[in-house]
Structure 1
Amino acid sequence: MEINLKEEVLKDQNKAAAFNRKLFQDSRTLVINIMSSPGAGKTTLLEATVKALAREYKIGVIEGDLATERDADRLRALGVDTVQINTVGGCHLDARMIAKKLPEFDLEKTDILFIENIGNLVCPSGYDLGQHFKVVVLSVPEGNDKIPKYPIMFRRTDMTLINKIDLLPYVPFNLVEAAEDLKSINPEALFKPVSALTGDRMGEWTGWIREVYHTCLAR
């Protein structure tokens, strides 16, 4: 008799994702799951995003890392309710981890919840956290080969942010090629180049957040 352990594990995971999704919908909290490889600039992106949106929305963050609370502390310094999850070696967050941390937020008063996933272009893509949108951050120093080499991650995203465009004069990255690669595997995904460090084109990202919030979840 063959026992499919993966199916049973994911069954519990998917139940937790459905639980989270209903909770987010009932509280009218927009939830965005941000994924990337290590060092792509997720935390810097969130810092810039918080600075741009904090006067309009009550923002919370779940911060995922293998160890330390260094990124969480950077966001707390901006006055953002931030809860840390340390996986101690785990390569992704799952819906059960998220569900355990949600009681630490007042979701009824939280407009937007960002989940910063573990830095990894493989494992996080396979786990539904109950979020409304998945966003992948790819930084230009990583090169043009990442989208074709990690197609599952980019196939499951709603948006790809190309970060660190301030470095384009110094590294061999082709935005047109990246856009074409993304379109070939995920024609529906949005493609937005930004620099979280300098603020260049960040308005396109924050404008999208405003749009989806007010279209789908305005209180």
Structure 2
Amino acid sequence: MCTTCGCGDTELVPVELHEKILAGNDRAARHNREHFLEARVLALNLMGSPGAGKTAVLEATAKAAAAKGWRLGAVSADLATDNDARRLQKAGIPSKAITTGQACHLDAELVHRSLHDFPWRDTDMFFIENVGNLVCPAIYDLGQAANVVVLSVTEGEDKPLKYPVMFNAADLVLLTKCDLVPHLDVELAKIHDALARVMPRPRMIEVSARTGQGMDAWVAWLEELRDGIGLGGADAHAHGHEHSHAHSHEHAHGDERHSHAHSHDGHEHEHGSADHHGHARGGKHDHD
């Protein structure tokens, strides 16, 4: 059980407290977003089940993005170990581990703290690899520009219907391990149909980190997103403003340490009561 959000347990987390936590997280997320936009860094929240292929996708992304000359960076969250961060470092992505202990998701303050003493300003794209979980991460804004959900073909065709909040918050779904489809009893059309029922703007790319399938389409989507929010162009970083991350802003480091939420600049979604991106919303097989 997550000790910070209650995982929907109203006995553990009264509504008033939960709303206060989300409000505190919103403030931290806005601060993160200001930093990312000022530095002209595209930040993405990468979510998905344990073993869905989040780290493997980033490893493959490092290879695919090399031709573009993109500089990537990442923080990788897990309850224990820095295994994923070390994998990303080996793949050529400067990375930092966030060990959450009992927390089943990242919050904006944890992301903010991870930015200290890390050269994230030297990147074009900054990936926030969230804790493996299809529930809690969906409702916490981290200051990212977009949400990407990694879903593997081995997880079941009805996964989006079982976890609608996660997929409702997604800007893109990466369907991973597609090289395994010939060996599985899975119908991709059913996954497409399930996503169409829960995503406001359904968009899915079928990929395989092992074979490279779909990576060109994924990189093209990233480029489209960068251009769409004004971060594209070879001289993007030349227009950024260097400033020290040592600042005088006040942050909640006490009881609101795990305060959380979500706001996508440049995107309009229809979230319901949990408006993670500042908009109204309705409602790894890692081969390791």
Shared topology, TM-score over 0.5?
Answer: yes
Equivalent position of 1:185 in the other structure: 198
Taking structure 1 as the reference length, what is the TM-score of the superposition?
0.95
1:43 aligned residue (39, 46, 55): 55
**Alignment pair present for 1:8 and 2:20:** yes
State the aligned residue count: 218
Match of 1:74 in 2: 87
Partner of 1:18: 30
* C-alpha contact (below 8 Å) 2:206/2:214 kept by paired residues: yes
State whether residues 24 and 107 of structure 1, in contact with CA within 8 Å, keep that contact through their aligned partners in structure 2.
no
Runs (4+) off by over 6 Å? none
Are 1:158 and 2:171 an aligned pair? yes
1:83 and 1:181 map into 2 onto residues whose CA distance is 34
**Residue among 218, 223, 229 paired with 1:210:** 223
The answer on 1:27 being equivalent to 2:54 is no
8 Å CA contact retained: 2:158, 2:190: no
Unmatched tracts of structure 1, length 5 or more:
none
d(CA) in 2 for partners of 1:93, 1:3: 20
Selected match of 2:153 from 107, 130, 140: 140
Offset at residue 3 of structure 1 (A): 8.0
Amino acid in the other structure paired with 1:114: F
Render the CA deviation track for 1:75-98: whole Å, top value 9, x for unaligned: 111232101100012100010100
Say which structure is richer in helix: 1
- Amino acid across the alignment from 1:138: L
**Partners in 1 of 2:15 and 2:137 — Cα distance?**
24
1:120 pairs with one of 127, 133, 140: 133
Structure 1 window deviating more from structure 2 (97-106 vs 65-74): it is: 97-106
Percent identity for Structure 1 against Structure 2: 44
Which one is further off, 101-110 or 54-63? Answer: 101-110
SS, match of residue 98 in structure 2: strand
Moved more, 188-197 or 121-130: 188-197
- TM-score (ref. length: structure 2): 0.73
- Partner SS for 1:206: helix
User: Based on CA coordinates, which of the two structures has the bigger radius of gyration?
Assistant: 2
Distance 1:3 1:75, change over 3 A: closer
Matched residue type, 1:142: E
Q: RMSD value over aligned CA atoms?
A: 1.5
Structure 2: runs of 5+ lacking an equivalent? 1-13, 237-288
